[in-house]
């Protein structure tokens, strides 16, 4: 990155295939509805691999998932996000010489992501084999204002010649998804999911309407090309491919620009996606591209005003933080029809599925900075609540709802149930997100309409999956966040989230009753007062594993009895362990893929004393591989909470730089959105010590010694609050809205304008 915190640039980048695939991810364009990988417009050599894709959030097809044994309730069909079109193609020829980065001489080359303008820029100075020199500047944008719109502005400046330029712009409807049989995180077979119709031209725009093979969804891609000067034009249709060719004369030092508008519309959002695509395309081309650039910049200016995190003292980390927060707004769905996938809209890793990542790693960021987006994410879960009820029945439960471990449209996509469907904690995670939304917004009407029903139905599920034995409420045969330890009894994380879920089902019942808002949801789901009594009782006697001598919370009933895995003696080539050891071998050892009990102590810290959290942290640190990208940010947060500044900063650095430095070696398949949200949490919840509690916002700021200061902004109901942490003091400023009670280091203050307090020791409160 350059000195500008909002610019990420790579100059004279490598043309090695692996590096190109990584940059396809790092420089992708997205807006939460559509995403386009950053492929070369002209393509690569034929023997190069590429994940050339354009995606729509929530658009999917069904895929058969064969099971070795047809046991009751196993998932036999999943959803997968689709590559919906290829509208990136633009080939350029200088007279009879075709431009390619792999022929002639590349004199200069760079790629730039401008996170204030919301564009990517590719600049190449190229000398052809015959000596013609040309400067090519390509600007791409996925509009945040008109979500179906993606644009490519392709500028060509002849430097040392006059001659003929040939532009060859393609629109391809028949496309495939990427396939890699060796990697369980991406699709392992190729299939024609999207059946493309014939290409047509409508008012000089190419239009291709396609439908999925099984899910009965439709999508239309519409493309219009505009050249900056009169040219000879040729239009060609070949089945599901449309080609527009432009031939134009140019003089030395003259710039000729081809502007390519793409609109993608799907049948999930539009009753007639072809008509919608043509309507949006007409709207797009009716205004100069400069106007769309200006609207994009205005959108991001407003975004950064409330969402930016400023860090002084470590420019590299500061730049990485900004990059991560930009990717989150690019990735998150902006309507109740979609969510945020594990890889956003940057690639096909995990097939576009939504996980618990949303609620526990990403929604906390949007809740504090963009509450409406957090609300949309809960709305999406509400739209899939009936599917969650059906999923519970498939797994044998007589009542309640069980949200799927991984999904797009609400049905379970996890084929390996021990580390998938058995992760019942996703119910507690989703309930937790609803509760936190209420605590921060006090939006009781939304709780009455959507949130309470989710919390009641997830609470019902716990009553059916758990049982009382020996005076304790037990939850057996589940899997916690750690996927190296599966199908255990009384996973601490699961049990404490279930307890929280049950307690708040009781609280919401009473609150809605008091506000006279209970009747609609109560009658809709047939909720009885005796159920509320049962919820309360189960929460009171919930079994939370505890080992007194060690003063830790065991991860589950059997974890401490297993053989310890010696991570120090494990060769680096054997990581991640899931790719080198059989699951059963992993399950029989004390070894964790990621944080499990530790995040439980973060999200529900009042369930245990500080000493137990500290001893647990030290214990699990020894046996955690951090093979999951979700892990180091949580360890950073808890290290901050426990007064371990060096560890907190070390874990934070590993988290924040994961994608830009490709530390997990799989960023080519897409960014790690949950880790990006976790990076934000490591600052705000970790160094800032933020917790959302019933009595208000709690803060316990600390300053890493590597920084001179940092600041962030958070929403609390109608108020926007800035937190500025310096070497000796912390300033809390009410930027707008009504006065609020805030807690600093455990003490209550009324924030009317600005508070300034000295910093206290790490982890003291």
Residue 475 included in any domain: no
Residue 190 included in any domain: yes
Residue 511 included in any domain: no
Question: For residue 218, what are the contacts with CB-CB under 8 A and spacing of at least 6?
Answer: 209, 210, 211, 212, 266, 267, 273
Residue 664 burial by Cβ neighbours in a 10 Å radius (0-12, 13-18, 19+): middle
| pLDDT for residue 2 | 42
Assess whether pLDDT exceeds 90 at residue 437.
yes
CA dist., res. 145 & res. 272, Å (int):
21
| pLDDT for residue 189 | 61
DSSP 551: T
Q: Which of 483, 531, 621, 657 is catalytic?
A: 483
DSSP 572: G
Residue 348 included in any domain: no
pLDDT band at 765 (very low <50, low <70, confident <90, very high): low
Provide the phi-psi class of 337: left if phi over 0, else alpha when psi is between -120 and 50, else beta.
alpha
Residue 430 included in any domain: no
> Which string of DSSP letters, residue by residue, matches 37-79?
----TT---TTS-----EEEEEEEEEEE---SS--TT---EEE
Residues 303-335: tens digit of each pLDDT = 999 999 999 998 888 899 999 999 999 999 999
In total, how many domains does the chain have? 1
Residue 650 burial by Cβ neighbours in a 10 Å radius (0-12, 13-18, 19+): middle
Q: Rounded to the nearest 5°, which phi and psi values hold at 620? A: -75, -20
| pLDDT for residue 368 | 98
| pLDDT for residue 1 | 47
| pLDDT for residue 185 | 54
Nearest Cα to Cα of residue 588 among 558, 551, 612: 558
Nearest Cα to Cα of residue 351 among 404, 406, 405: 406
| pLDDT for residue 654 | 85
Handedness of CA 561, 566, 567, 570 (dihedral sign): negative
> Strand 97-98's sheet: what is its strand order?
97-98, 90-94, 163-172, 241-250, 232-238
End-to-end CA distance of the chain: 37
Residues 534-588: tens digit of each pLDDT = 999 999 999 999 999 999 999 999 999 999 999 999 999 999 999 999 999 999 9
Residues 287-305: tens digit of each pLDDT = 999 999 999 999 999 999 9
Question: For residue 521, what are the contacts with CB-CB under 8 A and spacing of at least 6?
Answer: 448, 452, 453, 456, 512, 527
CA dist., res. 159 & res. 153, Å (int):
19
The arithmetic mean of pLDDT across residues 199-204, rounded, is: 96
For residue 235, the enclosing domain spans 7-275+294-303
Q: Which two tokens stand for residue 509?
A: 């019942």
Q: For the chain, how many residues are written?
A: 765
Q: Tell me if 84 sits within 8 A of 177, measured CB to CB.
A: no
Question: What pTM, to 2 d.p., does this model score?
Answer: 0.96
Residues 11-70: tens digit of each pLDDT = 988 999 999 999 999 999 999 999 999 999 999 999 999 999 999 999 999 999 988 888
Assess whether pLDDT exceeds 50 at residue 85.
yes
| pLDDT for residue 181 | 65
Q: How many H helices and E strands in the chain?
A: 20, 32
Residue 254, number of CB atoms within 10 A of its CB = 15
Question: For residue 528, what are the contacts with CB-CB under 8 A and spacing of at least 6?
Answer: none
The CATH number of whichever domain residue 199 belongs to comes to: 2.70.98.40
Assess whether pLDDT exceeds 80 at residue 500.
yes
453 is an active site residue: no
Residues 674-703: tens digit of each pLDDT = 999 999 999 999 999 999 999 999 999 999
Lowest mean pLDDT among 172-181, 423-432, 444-453: 172-181
Assess whether pLDDT exceeds 80 at residue 763.
no
Assess whether pLDDT exceeds 70 at residue 3.
no
Share of the chain above pLDDT 90, in %: 94
CA dist., res. 660 & res. 656, Å (int):
8
Residues 639-657: tens digit of each pLDDT = 999 999 999 999 998 888 8
Residue 665 included in any domain: no
Q: Tell me if 674 sits within 8 A of 630, measured CB to CB.
A: yes
DSSP 484: T
Beta strand extents in 251-380 (DSSP E only): 255-266, 310-312
Q: Tell me if 296 sits within 8 A of 29, measured CB to CB.
A: no
Long-range contacts, 209-212 (Cβ 8 Å, 24+): 209/273, 209/274, 210/84, 210/85, 210/173, 210/240, 212/60, 212/61, 212/62, 212/82
Residue 553 included in any domain: no
Share of the chain above pLDDT 70, in %: 98
Residue 223 included in any domain: yes
DSSP 759: -
Q: Which two tokens stand for residue 220?
A: 């239309």
pLDDT band at 127 (very low <50, low <70, confident <90, very high): very high
């Amino acid at each position: 990155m350059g000195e500008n915190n909002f610019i990420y640039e790579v100059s004279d980048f490598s043309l090695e295939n692996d590096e190109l695939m990584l940059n396809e991810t790092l420089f992708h364009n997205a807006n939460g509805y559509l995403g386009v990988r950053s492929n070369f417009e002209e393509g690569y050599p034929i023997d190069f691999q590429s994940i050339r894709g354009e995606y729509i959030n929530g658009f999917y097809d069904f895929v058969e998932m064969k099971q070795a044994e047809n046991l009751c309730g196993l998932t036999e069909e999943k959803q997968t996000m689709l590559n919906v079109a290829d509208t990136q193609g633009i080939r350029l020829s200088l007279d009879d010489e075709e431009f390619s980065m792999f022929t002639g001489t590349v004199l200069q080359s760079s790629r730039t992501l401008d996170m204030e303008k919301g564009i990517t820029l590719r600049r190449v100075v190229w000398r052809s084999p015959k000596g013609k020199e040309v400067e090519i500047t390509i600007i791409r944008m996925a509009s945040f204002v008109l979500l179906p719109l993606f644009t490519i502005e392709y500028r060509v400046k002849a430097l040392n010649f006059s001659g003929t330029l040939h532009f060859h712009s393609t629109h391809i409807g028949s496309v495939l998804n990427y396939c890699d049989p060796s990697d369980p995180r991406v699709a392992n077979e190729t299939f024609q999911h999207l059946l493309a119709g014939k290409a047509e031209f409508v008012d000089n725009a190419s239009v291709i309407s396609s439908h999925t093979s099984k899910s009965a969804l439709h999508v239309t891609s519409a493309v219009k090309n505009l050249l900056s000067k009169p040219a000879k034009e040729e239009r060609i249709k070949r089945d599901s491919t449309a080609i527009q060719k432009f031939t134009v004369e140019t003089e030395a030092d003259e710039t000729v620009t081809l502007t390519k508008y793409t609109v993608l519309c799907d049948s999930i959002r539009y009753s007639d996606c072809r008509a919608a695509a043509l309507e949006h395309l007409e709207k797009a081309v009716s205004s100069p591209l400069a106007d769309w650039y200006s609207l994009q910049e205005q959108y991001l200016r407003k975004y950064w005003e409330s969402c930016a995190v400023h860090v002084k003292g470590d420019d590299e980390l500061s730049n990485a933080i900004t990059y991560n927060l930009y990717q989150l707004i690019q990735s998150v769905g902006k309507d109740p029809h979609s969510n945020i996938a594990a890889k956003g809209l940057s690639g096909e890793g995990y097939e576009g599925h939504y996980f618990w990542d949303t609620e526990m790693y990403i929604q906390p960021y949007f809740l504090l900075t963009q509450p409406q987006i957090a609300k949309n994410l809960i709305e999406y879960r509400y739209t899939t609540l009936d599917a969650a009820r059906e999923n519970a029945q498939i797994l044998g439960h007589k009542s309640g709802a069980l949200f799927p471990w991984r999904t797009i449209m609400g049905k379970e996509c996890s084929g390996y149930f021990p580390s998938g469907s058995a992760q019942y904690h996703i119910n507690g995670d989703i309930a937790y997100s609803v509760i936190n939304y209420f605590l921060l917004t006090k939006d009781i009407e939304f709780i009455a309409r959507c949130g309470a029903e989710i919390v009641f139905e997830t609470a019902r599920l716990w009553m059916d999956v758990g049982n009382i034995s020996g005076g304790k409420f037990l939850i057996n045969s589940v899997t916690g966040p750690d996927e190296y330890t599966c199908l255990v009894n009384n996973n601490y994380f699961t049990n404490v989230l279930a307890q929280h879920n049950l307690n708040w089902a009781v609280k919401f019942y009473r609150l809605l009753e008091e506000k006279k808002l209970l009747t609609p949801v109560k009658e809709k789901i047939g909720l009885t007062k005796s159920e509320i009594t049962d919820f309360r009782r189960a929460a009171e006697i919930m079994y939370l594993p505890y080992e007194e001598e060690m003063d830790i919370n065991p991860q589950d009933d059997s974890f401490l009895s297993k053989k310890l895995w010696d991570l120090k003696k494990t060769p680096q080539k054997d990581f991640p362990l899931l790719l080198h050891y059989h699951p059963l071998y992993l399950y029989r050892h004390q070894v964790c893929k990621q944080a499990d009990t530790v995040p439980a102590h973060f999200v529900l810290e009042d369930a245990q004393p500080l000493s137990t959290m500290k001893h647990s942290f030290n214990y699990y640190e020894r046996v955690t591989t951090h093979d999951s990208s979700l892990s180091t940010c949580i360890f950073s947060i808890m290290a901050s909470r426990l007064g371990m500044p060096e560890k907190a900063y070390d874990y934070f650095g590993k988290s924040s730089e994961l994608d830009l430095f490709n530390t997990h070696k799989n960023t080519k398949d897409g960014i790690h959105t949950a880790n990006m949200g976790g990076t934000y949490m490591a600052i705000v919840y970790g160094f800032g010590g933020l917790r959302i509690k019933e009595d208000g916002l709690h803060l316990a700021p600390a300053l890493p010694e590597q920084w001179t200061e940092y600041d962030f902004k958070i929403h609390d109901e109608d108020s926007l609050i800035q937190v500025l942490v310096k070497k000796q003091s912390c300033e809390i400023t009410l930027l707008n809205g009504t006065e609020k009670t805030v807690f600093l280091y455990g003490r209550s203050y009324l924030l009317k304008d600005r508070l300034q307090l000295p910093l206290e020791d790490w982890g003291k409160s």
